[in-house]
């Protein structure tokens, strides 16, 4: 049976859910309570009383409840040791919430954690259940955009540019030696204007809105709706004439944030060792 997951973080939202869904339809839903581990985006504080109150009410409403948090604090990590530490802290907080609920007699179905940085570390050690084998540990890890990665994740050292699998294919429209730029036909409608985790990634002047594949000294400096301006990366001493391709050249651009970039296209062209092996439709493009 397919169940639809619904996230809530207040009694108000649970009440609204109850008004929208009939008693006989509740088994079609899996209710998840959002928990805040200190990142401050959404959810209830993991060590506060309200998360228990809302989760208990959700469990009574639907017969069980699950817990989820976005591991946004992992974006403060700059190396694998920090990422492991954040992953362990995040998981420990969530197991703690689960233990509080279980001790109160509440059935906890799943506990989910994760973000791209914390899921990047191979076999990140997660804490064991707090009270022995009968206790629940982490059951789900949400790994963010690990399928594609992007320039932002490379700037955070979560991945290298060689790990980035998603690119946008674009064509050079024109080059301007005097101002040392070229223009391509991939603008904001292809690369998006989303800055991602700007509180952690390197400045836009360094990594731009994307990096040209196989030309790491060329970055997307600015975007308009339909076009982008490509410049040399700051500090690059290679002459313009040696870097910039001729008009008509096809380029592959690593996007700054692949999540929004992928959502801008109706399909993904899949290549393996340079050969196109298929096309995948892009689902969930609209809200």
The dihedral of CA 202, 151, 94, 18: what is its sign?
positive
What is residue 192's DSSP assignment?
A: -
Q: What is the largest CA-CA distance in the chain?
A: 72
Tens of pLDDT, residue by residue over 189-217, are 999 988 777 555 454 445 689 999 988 89
Quote the pLDDT of residue 205. 47
Residue 132 in this model has a pLDDT that exceeds 60: no
Quote the pLDDT of residue 79. 87
Tens of pLDDT, residue by residue over 141-153, are 888 888 899 999 9
Quote the pLDDT of residue 249. 95
Q: Which residues of 214-228 are buried (b: 16+ CB within 10 A; e: fewer)?
A: ebebbbbbebeeebb
Average pLDDT value over all residues in the chain? 87
Pairing assessment for the beta strands 29-36 and 4-8 based on DSSP bridges:
parallel
Tens of pLDDT, residue by residue over 115-131, are 999 888 755 555 555 44
Q: What mean pLDDT is predicted for residues 3-27?
A: 90
Residue 76 in this model has a pLDDT that exceeds 80: yes
Quote the pLDDT of residue 93. 92
First to last CA, the chain: 24
Asked if 243 contacts 199 with a C-beta cutoff of 8 angstroms, the reply is no
Q: Who wins on pLDDT, 172 or 237? A: 172
Q: State percent of the chain over pLDDT 90.
A: 52
Tens of pLDDT, residue by residue over 29-64, are 899 999 998 888 899 999 999 999 999 999 998 788
């Amino acid at each position: 049976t397919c169940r639809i997951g619904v996230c809530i973080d207040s009694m108000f939202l649970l009440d609204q859910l109850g008004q929208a869904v009939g008693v006989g339809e509740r088994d079609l839903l899996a209710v998840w309570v959002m928990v805040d581990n200190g990142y401050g985006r959404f959810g209830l504080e993991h060590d506060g009383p309200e998360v228990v109150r809302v989760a208990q009410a959700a469990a009574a409403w639907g017969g069980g409840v699950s817990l989820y948090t976005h591991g946004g604090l992992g974006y403060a990590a700059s190396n694998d040791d920090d990422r492991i530490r954040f992953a362990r802290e995040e998981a420990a907080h969530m197991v703690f919430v689960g233990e509080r609920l279980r001790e109160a007699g509440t059935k906890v179905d799943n506990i989910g954690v994760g973000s791209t940085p914390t899921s990047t570390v191979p076999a990140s050690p997660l804490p064991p259940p707090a009270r022995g084998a009968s206790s629940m540990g982490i059951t789900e890890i949400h790994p963010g955009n690990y399928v594609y990665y992007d320039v932002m994740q490379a700037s955070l050292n979560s991945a290298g540019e060689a790990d980035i699998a998603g690119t946008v294919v674009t064509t050079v429209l024109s080059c301007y030696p005097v101002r040392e730029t070229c223009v391509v036909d991939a603008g904001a409608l292809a690369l998006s204007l989303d800055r991602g985790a700007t509180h952690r990634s390197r400045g836009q002047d360094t990594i731009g809105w994307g990096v040209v594949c196989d030309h790491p000294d060329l970055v997307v400096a600015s975007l308009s709706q339909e076009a982008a301006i490509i410049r040399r990366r700051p500090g690059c001493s290679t002459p313009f004439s040696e870097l910039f391709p001729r008009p008509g050249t096809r380029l592959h651009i690593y996007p700054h944030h692949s999540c929004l970039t992928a959502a801008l296209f109706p399909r993904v062209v899949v290549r393996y060792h340079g050969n196109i092996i298929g096309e995948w439709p892009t689902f969930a493009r609209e809200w």
